[in-house]
Chain A
């Protein structure tokens, strides 16, 4: 697309108009966006066309329409986190990632739907309605970045920016058959991402192929003085596409047996096996490994995430911005009514549980144990990464469930990647199937999983 733009085969305005047309065609049904900025996008497009005409140099995202998950702050443009609480919230600043996209001349076309405050895995907790899976509109798109994944799958946008605290990019990518990358913690500034769990949250990128995802990654990654947890190391990744397949030879891939047990769906197991065979055929060395503590990751996640979430949500009190209840007699009543009326069930559940988990008498019992288990899990991964380059797993052990049916019970370990601060990418096993292959890399070894993912795309072409 960028190439065509540079060669003047197509104008920026034409690109945006085409995407708006597609959005208008499918959006009523898919509901992947909470708000759209069609006029703003067209105005940006005209500016870029002007630059092209004048022969000015273009940014690396010039003219590309991009969707932003609506828990990422956009200046003077409604940012709701899919909550009634922030239904009319117009923030006065840009998230660092948004500012960087604007600098690279990417065009923000709208804000994607999500689970309320990114709490959920099926995109059914949004105040603005659930999102449908474009691959099968009876099914959920996954979550919490369900809107981002669905918009890509429905070809409403080519790139989207989302966030992943416990699988929120990778799982919907898998359910909607697109690519979702959660880079290593610290790779991308979190400044302007509404916090869920501060040491687990990571902004990441979603696209229809790995190359596009990498393009967006490179335009937003790197140190930001506004996020002191962001890394100062060089995060730019450049990949030599000519040697992609050669580099698979001798690549050591670990298959953690814990990810292939019990709850895994048979069709997923067989597709993943096929993928593994492709890697073996290409010369990779694939062996079974074990991550003994990974089985605790849902519990570690719950304690860390809910605890953080309860205090992160405390700022939404109806005093300075956001929803405020109409009738109240006292400050306490203002808080209680405001929060009761404007926050959804899942959010309330996590606030209550988190408050309980952090309470004085429980802190020792739960929090310290979770911290200990987190260290043990990190140690497990360190062990594996001392002899293997990457880890391969199914992204989700199950297929997307039906929207109008309860979520079936299963245990998955997507959170393990966040708990250990690693990088993970989900990519479709095969076109047209909502089955995702997850590659996990060690901290700041994002290049390894991105290269392997691109090579895999070549193998299945």
Chain B
């Protein structure tokens, strides 16, 4: 390839703390406009911020999960700019000493594992929301003002849309694992900005960085990167360059659109926020948070491979979300066959969930129900195909597999006497097939099996049928 793409990401994540960052207003998505507000989050003159300790704690959690260094002494700074959804005329954020410094997220694609390093993670307040109407009016909702955020900044170390996607997936999975955010992009609790440019490997010529703002899905992120990659390369080929600019992704047009050119870098006139005491973080506090963290995705995956002898791929998929991993392990509590359970979940369960775009926590049945179903199949009570039918029914009604099997009379026939009479009937009706088999046509067995299954309404135990059938053919 003649060109190298360079991607850095900035991700804003709303934290799931009970209250906002500087006041006791509820930190809840939505609500009637301007009802989750008080003098503090509205920035009324004279109101003072009290930094919510939970926010620092969540920030530290994230830092630990992403292998960052936690700064023992940090502070809050004012970032000055004017916008109507910014109540104080400055955003309280962190400038030169972020809560967490460095760190990395490990991603893995067909080229193997790769560490994408983080520059920093800092805490700050969210702004209100501007709602622009078609008639040109702007309405302001300050419910979101003062919602706590972490901003995660990556180094420009990703080189493809796929790497960026993997990075984002891993980041989201981890943040959900440690329960600092619900990461719902559709509600804006995870927002992503992309910085991208391209280098011509031969000439070393670089395009100027484009910033793409406010992507509202990973898909949009991937597509906008692909679009920009092409745009930058196209310009280089024409001997031109991009301008330093901010763009946005237009879903309908499937392209990025210029928002504004970036002239000289904005001067935010950062200064310490004198209303908030310097923050001191003891080793003991960090240790306490560390020991309270749940097992992280990477460690869990390693353990699944080691303890359950799963493949790299299966372990990766099963640990993608904490809930899925938990469901898997809960199923194992009732049936001790890791590989078999993995097959069922990776196969029919996830396929169905993906088809309907659902999460594991929306299942109508429990891990025990799934374990019972798998046991029924494994123990020959029902056959594999019936098992799949029962699972579909479980998705629909949430009934237990035992109930479904009983209600529909699906119990497998394993009784040799009962099966013998069915088999005799089929053999009597299909003399030709017996001949064919004896003449070396193995296919004939398949046909006979099919007829027997049909006769038994699919309930015949295939292993038992197979055994009796072979004996009986030999006898004839």
Contacts and interface: CB of A to CB of B under 8 A. Distances in A.
Given A191-B46, A194-B46, A319-B140, A93 B51 contact: no
Interface string A306-336: 0110110111110111000000000100010
B20 to A, nearest CB: 14
Contact of A225 (B50, B273, B274): B50
B274 A319 contact: no
Interface in A214-269: 225-229
B43 interface: yes
B51 A228 contact: yes
A124 interface: no
Given A93-B44, A314-B82, A359 B89 contact: no
A313 B50 CA distance: 20
A434 interface: no
Interface of A is mostly: loop
Contacts, number: 99
Contacts of A313: 89
Nearest to B50: A228
B342 to A, nearest CB: 51
B269 interface: yes
Interface string B284-300: 00000000000000000
A102 B21 CA distance: 29
Interface stretch (A2-10, A195-203, A378-386): A195-203
Interface string B150-180: 0000000000000000000000000000000
A91 B39 CA distance: 9
Interface in A334-357: 335, 355
Nearest to B78: A311
Interface string A355-384: 100111001000100000000000000000
Nearest to B83: A331
Contacts of B274: 197-199, 229, 308
A191 B82 contact: no
B269 A355 contact: yes
A226 B80 CA distance: 23
B46 A73 contact: yes
Interface string B19-49: 0000000000000000000010011111111
B48 A228 contact: yes
A321 B39 CA distance: 12
A456 to B, nearest CB: 34
A275 B231 CA distance: 81
Interface residues of B, number: 30
A112 to B, nearest CB: 16
B335 interface: no
Given A93-B39, A358-B80, A307 B271 contact: yes
B281 interface: no
Interface string B244-274: 0000000000000000000000010111011
B381 interface: no
Contact of A311 (B44, B48, B90): B90
A66 B80 CA distance: 37
Nearest to A361: B267
A319 B83 CA distance: 10
Contact of A367 (B50, B78, B271, B273): B271
A225 B269 CA distance: 29
B267 A360 contact: yes
Nearest to B269: A358
Which interface residue of A93, A320, A331 has the most chain B CB atoms within 10 A? A320
Contacts of B322: none
B45 A194 contact: yes
A358 B271 contact: yes
B46 A95 contact: yes
Interface string A19-51: 000000000000000000000000000000000
A326 B47 CA distance: 28
A139 B46 CA distance: 31
Interface string A186-217: 00001111110111000000000000000000
B269 to A, nearest CB: 4
Contacts of B283: none
Which interface residue of B80, B271, B273, B276 has the most chain A CB atoms within 10 A? B271
A359 B44 contact: no
B88 interface: yes
B277 interface: yes
Interface in B37-73: 39, 42-51
B261 to A, nearest CB: 17
B276 A228 contact: yes
A228 B43 CA distance: 16
B275 interface: yes
A81 interface: yes
B269 A360 contact: yes
Contacts of A229: 274-275, 277
Interface string A144-171: 0000000000000000000000000000
Nearest to A321: B44
Contacts of A72: 46
B426 interface: no
Interface string B392-416: 0000000000000000000000000
A92 interface: yes
Contact of B46 (A195, A311, A316, A320): A195
23 contacts: A73-B44, A73-B46, A81-B45, A91-B39, A93-B39, A190-B46, A190-B48, A191-B46, A191-B48, A194-B46, A226-B48, A229-B274, A311-B90, A314-B88, A315-B45, A315-B89, A316-B45, A317-B84, A320-B140, A331-B83, A331-B84, A360-B267, A363-B271
Interface of A: 72-73, 81, 86, 91-93, 95, 190-195, 197-199, 225-229, 307-308, 310-311, 313-317, 319-321, 331, 335, 355, 358-360, 363, 367
Interface of B: 39, 42-51, 78, 80, 82-84, 87-90, 140, 267, 269-271, 273-277
Given A73-B45, A228-B48, A360-B267, 10 more contacts: A72-B46, A190-B46, A194-B46, A198-B273, A226-B50, A228-B276, A314-B88, A315-B89, A331-B83, A363-B271
Instruction: Report the 8 A-B pairs with minimum CB-CB distance, sorted nearest first.
Output: A314-B89, A198-B274, A358-B269, A199-B274, A192-B46, A194-B45, A73-B46, A360-B267
